[in-house]
Amino acid sequence: MTRGMIYKLIWILVLVALSVILILPTVGEKDMEVLLNKDITVEQKDAVKKIFAGDKFTIKDNGTSLIVSGRSLTDAFMNKVRILDGVTEARLLKHWVEEKLMAKKINLGLDLQGGMHLVLRADFSGIEAKLGRTLEEKDKIEITQQALELLRNRIDKFGVSEPSIRPSGAEAIEIQLPGVKDPRAVKKAIGTTGSLEYRLVDEKYSRSSAEWIKNNYKAKELPQEWGGQKQLLDEAAKAIGLPDTLELMFYFERDKDSKKIFPVYPMALEKKIAVAGTDIKEATVDRDEYGRIVVQFKTTAEGAAKFANVTREENRDKRLAIILDNNIRNAPHINEQITTGSGHISGGFSHEEAQTLARIIKEGALPVTLQIIEERTVGPSLGQDSIESGIKAMIIGMAGVILFMIVYYKMGGLISAIGLILNMIFMLALLSLLGFTLTLPGIAGFILTVGMAVDANVIIYERIKEELASGKSVRMSIVYGFDKAFWTIFDANLTTLIAAFILSQFGTGPIKGFAVILFIGILTSMFTALYVTRFVYEIISLNKKIKKLHI
């Protein structure tokens, strides 16, 4: 074997090993932490443990929490546990691969694990009556975007891993919540008006609380759910001796990819509300005299007096926290007293960040009402049936194709079967890396990819057979066979690749999912057929005693 072939072998083995590691969060064992109420009864605890009965799960009882390990722990299962009596919170813990290699588990879509599908329509009649005119299209889009930001905050509290929240036209919002088991709680949360308030920050106790959490919470992530966050903040407040006039809350930031907000560090706030959200009547993105992006705002007459009071000289250089639904979303410094009822917030914002902040500020006074005009609940049993049917179809399809290839192409069929399995591993690894959400059409994409991968092998083998029939040696037949098959496979897949790319860019929901899997599947099948399989045949051709190929 030449040095180049050794390097190639090492490269393929490393790639396979890395791919197997990346799919561990999806196919491997998962851990779920179930936080229990302090006053949980023995009967309630037994009822919680009963749901994990059987050989599929192992339970470690830590007194105030349960650590459950198993392969069938999904978001749907987590939400089912979360609403049991005596349970404060349930969450899926990250796999070590997710921590070290940025891999993500492949989530299941609404059609595979059940959940809720809602379409909400904004009722602008209240705003139009107040303004005395009909709103223009751009105004409706802006207000719908504000409502969308508010809904994201509400829904993030339910711990839904892959919620789909997107505008549908200028007046409607479409929401898909995979795994949600308590539709009444979701609808209640969505229907409430957002609470927005402004409070002064106490820097001394903010530093103390942040230091305490840093020293005592190193090995764990900050809790993502309100129950766990409240418990942690209470512990920190007690540890640092927080005065009764102050309250701890988490400062939140939004993840650029998932769009979910997550706690970053605690801040100590005065309990007294300095300015209410309803005191702000307008907020827009603008630039200051230095060209920096700022958020301009105007207050009501009552709000102007409150702002003048809170921004007085003695509070200069203090921070004024902007709190949306008990989450601190920004804390700008007070640079000067604002007595005119208008001012600006600066902070080195990007335009997108400033727009988000302006929306948050305006949400407190948002008068729009959201009405549910469409509601569908997909049962988990239907989702489970879909998963089992899809997996069964995939296994039967692969087994049938592999059997045919082995019977027809003998050793060549066996090599193509190995290529097929590697193709599936590479596909799953890429989807895990992207944190893909798998839907039923996505499974169809997998099955279609299996057929296309086999098609590439058939083209290669037929070209090799032609070369052997023309009298060439085994080694030369392999070289010419792969070379001639390359452009045929490339041309055929390139057109599908372009179609899949366009579909993934303009399609939505399940259609987009199908297109992404098809796109990735074509790339991995070409790689396995033209690179990995060819390498196997190159190794075989090193044996000069071979006079005939069994294909």
Overall average pLDDT of the 86-112 stretch? 78
Overall average pLDDT of the 150-171 stretch? 70
Distance between CA atoms of 150 and 411, rounded to whole angstroms?
60
At residue 143, the pLDDT reads 78
Provide the 8-state DSSP code for 302: H
**Which position has the higher pLDDT, 351 or 441?**
441
375-425 per-position pLDDT tens digit? 777 665 555 566 667 677 778 878 888 888 888 888 888 888 888 889 989
Q: Tell whether the model's pLDDT for residue 160 goes beyond 60.
A: no
Residue 258's pLDDT band (cuts 50, 70, 90) = low
Overall average pLDDT of the 477-502 stretch? 88
At residue 269, the pLDDT reads 93
**Which position has the higher pLDDT, 360 or 97?**
97
Q: Tell whether the model's pLDDT for residue 157 goes beyond 80.
A: no
Distance between CA atoms of 274 and 523, rounded to whole angstroms?
57
The pLDDT > 90 percentage for the chain reads 7
Least confident of 7-11, 313-317, 432-436: 432-436
Transcribe 171-197 into DSSP letters.
Answer: TEEEEEEET---HHHHHHHHHSPP-EE
Residue 109's pLDDT band (cuts 50, 70, 90) = confident
At residue 387, the pLDDT reads 64
Q: Tell whether the model's pLDDT for residue 219 goes beyond 60.
A: no
**Which position has the higher pLDDT, 273 or 507?**
273
Distance between CA atoms of 321 and 329, rounded to whole angstroms?
8
**Which position has the higher pLDDT, 263 or 181?**
263
**Which position has the higher pLDDT, 185 or 53?**
53
At residue 80, the pLDDT reads 76
Q: Tell whether the model's pLDDT for residue 185 goes beyond 70.
A: no
Averaged pLDDT score across all residues of the chain: 80
According to the 3-state scheme, what is the secondary structure of 522-540? HHHHHHHHHHHHHHHHHHH
Overall average pLDDT of the 126-138 stretch? 77
Provide the 8-state DSSP code for 471: T
At residue 97, the pLDDT reads 81
At residue 188, the pLDDT reads 63
Contacts of 236 (CB under 8 A, 6+ apart): 209, 212, 213, 242, 248, 266
498-550 per-position pLDDT tens digit? 988 888 887 766 788 888 889 999 999 999 988 998 888 888 888 777 777 77
At residue 15, the pLDDT reads 92
At residue 386, the pLDDT reads 63
At residue 220, the pLDDT reads 58
User: Residue 446: enclosing H or E segment and its boundaries?
Assistant: helix 440-469
**Which position has the higher pLDDT, 290 or 454?**
454
* 492-498 CB contacts, 8 Å cutoff, 24+ apart: 492/455, 493/452, 493/456, 493/522, 493/525, 493/526, 496/452, 496/522, 497/522, 497/523
Distance between CA atoms of 105 and 430, rounded to whole angstroms?
11
Q: Tell whether the model's pLDDT for residue 367 goes beyond 90.
A: no
- Residue 11 is encoded by which pair of tokens? 């490269």
The pLDDT > 70 percentage for the chain reads 86
What is the number of alpha carbons within 13 Å of residue 263 lying toward its C-beta? 24
- Residue 246 is encoded by which pair of tokens? 């102050």
Distance between CA atoms of 407 and 236, rounded to whole angstroms?
68
Q: Tell whether the model's pLDDT for residue 363 goes beyond 60.
A: no
At residue 49, the pLDDT reads 87
Cβ atoms of 446 and 394 closer than 8 Å? yes
Cβ atoms of 452 and 525 closer than 8 Å? yes
At residue 161, the pLDDT reads 56
- Residue 468 is encoded by which pair of tokens? 């052997």
Quick check: pTM over 0.85?
Answer: no
Q: Tell whether the model's pLDDT for residue 448 goes beyond 80.
A: yes
Least confident of 126-135, 188-197, 250-259, 431-440: 188-197
Q: Tell whether the model's pLDDT for residue 225 goes beyond 80.
A: no
Cβ atoms of 75 and 108 closer than 8 Å? yes
Closest CA to 162 of 530, 477, 431, 547: 431
**Which position has the higher pLDDT, 346 or 209?**
209
Provide the 8-state DSSP code for 333: B
Determine whether 71 is exposed, middle or buried from the number of CB atoms within 10 Å of its CB (0-12, 13-18, 19+): exposed
At residue 192, the pLDDT reads 57
Least confident of 129-133, 147-151, 157-161: 157-161
Question: In which region does residue 536 sit, left (phi positive, over 0), alpha (psi from -120 to 50) or beta (all else)?
Answer: alpha
Q: Tell whether the model's pLDDT for residue 435 goes beyond 80.
A: no
Q: Tell whether the model's pLDDT for residue 144 goes beyond 70.
A: yes
What is the number of alpha carbons within 13 Å of residue 150 lying toward its C-beta? 29
Overall average pLDDT of the 117-145 stretch? 79
Q: Tell whether the model's pLDDT for residue 99 goes beyond 80.
A: no
Transcribe 238-292 into DSSP letters.
Answer: HHHT--TTEEEEEEEEE-TTT--EEEEEEEEEESS-SEEGGGEEEEEEEE-TTS-
Distance between CA atoms of 414 and 405, rounded to whole angstroms?
7
Q: Tell whether the model's pLDDT for residue 89 goes beyond 80.
A: no
**Which position has the higher pLDDT, 378 or 364?**
378
Query: 73 by DSSP, 3-state: which?
Result: coil
Query: 93 by DSSP, 3-state: which?
Result: strand
